[in-house]
Structure 1
Amino acid sequence: MRDIPAIHYTNQMHDPAQARRALGHVSIVSPDPSWPEYFSRERARLRSFLGPLADELQHYGSTAVPGLSAKPIIDMMTPVASLEQADALSEQLAAAKYRRIDAGFFKRRFFRRTAADTNLAWHLHLVVAPAWPVKNELLLRDWLIRRPDVARAYEALKMELATAYGDDMPRYTEGKTIFLRKAVNDARLSHGLPAEHDWDE
């Protein structure tokens, strides 16, 4: 998730094979110091499509952690009041070259953009998140920055999973679940927050 704590494929309307095709091959590349700048440029570009939601847009995932190898995906997230609000933005986001993908999420809408002249992709998550800004993905990002030892262990796991499941992005993501749930709860504990038990997103 996109580096996120979990993806669940329990939605009866969800087609895992279609999601695999839409998300493409798992490719881990060396860290690129330009990734934060790519995010900043995309946030500026999205202002005319998202309006005030762009003010809350956050860069998360491995490309937001300096020095961490990652899939060349700029993961972005912003809170919405409801899924209906997210759905209402679909037309504007289509005009911004974002395609909605059904990855089995329950509390968010997920969009992806690619560009022909780069290997980058941009993933945009519109999330119903009452606990924003202490959203688990944001806590995880900051935890990996603060704890290089955890970031290195995560990097090693990603490399192993990419070798095993390079053509199956959902399975690659599921393989990170146990590690990421522990890291998220360690991060939450460091902020005096209770452990997370509801991973349905």
Structure 2
Amino acid sequence: MYNHEHARQALGHVSIAPPDPCWPIYFSQERDLLRPLLGSIADELQHYGSTAVAGLSAKPIIDMMAPVASLTQADAFDAPLDNAGYRRIDAGFFKRRFFRKTVANSDLAYHLHLVVAPDWPIKNELLLRDWLIQHPEVARAYEALKLELASACGDDMPRYTDGKTSFLHKAVNDARRSQNLPIEHDWAE
């Protein structure tokens, strides 16, 4: 069962770093490390989130996502991922499994989401990534919001994430409309 305090402690302090051109390289290297564990699922692994948007300040977290057929399939990766340094975290999701790996002596971390996504590859997170890349003015407004929230939320990552919700919902629906997709009403994950 989701526990805000446990998630807050597991996710750590909110810190925004300047853009790092190495973030896409870190993703590629990590995908290669995960390939033997995830098999063909690694072929679908996508880099998303702010570190996937060139020139955007972000938490130094490489967000990765891949589709799975079921949560049972995702659960089968618990032990291999744990052995690779990924800890499963209950962040309140019920259509995905969420894993976090930290890098010793660094602010860098990896978040791996294994999602039951019948609408892959038009998953909202991927649409948002592409929308931010295509609309730098939206990316800059998002960056400003993140900096403001990081200052206000400090060590409460779930509160920081909640603070971005309305902005992200609007941006996702703008991206969906631009592709003649229905707007999203069901944000439950």
Q: Given the two structures, how large is their TM-score scaled by the length of structure 1? A: 0.93
3-state SS of 1:55 partner: helix
Distance 1:115 1:139 in 2: 28
Alignment partner of 1:106 is 2:91: no
From 130, 142, 146, give the equivalent of 2:134: 146
3-state SS of 1:126 partner: strand
Alignment partner of 1:160 is 2:143: no
From 67, 70, 89, give the equivalent of 2:77: 89
| TM-fit CA distance, 1:23 | 0.1
Question: Runs of 4 or more off by more than 4 Å in structure 1?
Answer: none
Equivalent runs, 1:96-135 vs 2, <5 Å: 96-135=84-123
| TM-fit CA distance, 1:14 | 1.0
Q: Please, what is the CA RMSD of the aligned residues? A: 0.5
Q: Which amino acid aligns with 2:119?
A: A
Alignment partner of 1:199 is 2:171: no
Identity of aligned residues (%): 74
Distance 2:167 2:136 in 1: 15
User: Which residue of structure 1 lines up, in the alignment, with residue 40 of structure 2?
Assistant: 52
Alignment partner of 1:43 is 2:31: yes
Q: Which amino acid aligns with 2:156?
A: D
**Segment drifting more, 131-140 vs 109-118:** 109-118
3-state SS of 1:123 partner: strand
3-state SS of 2:155 partner: coil
| TM-fit CA distance, 1:18 | 0.5
Alignment partner of 1:63 is 2:51: yes
Equivalent runs, 1:178-193 vs 2, <5 Å: 178-193=166-181
Distance 1:51 1:118 in 2: 28
From 2, 8, 16, give the equivalent of 1:28: 16
Unaligned runs of 5+ in 2: none
Distance 1:117 1:162 in 2: 21
Distance 2:183 2:101 in 1: 33
User: Which residue of structure 2 lines up, in the alignment, with residue 136 of structure 1?
Assistant: 124
Q: Which amino acid aligns with 2:121?
A: P
| TM-fit CA distance, 1:179 | 0.3
Query: What whole-Å deviation, never above 9, does each CA across 1:1-59 have from its counterpart, x for those lacking one?
Result: xxxxxxxxxxxx11110000000000001000000000000000000110110000000
Distance 2:24 2:105 in 1: 18
| TM-fit CA distance, 1:118 | 2.5
Distance 1:59 1:90 in 2: 20
Query: What whole-Å deviation, never above 9, does each CA across 1:111-133 have from its counterpart, x for those lacking one?
Result: 00011142200000000000000
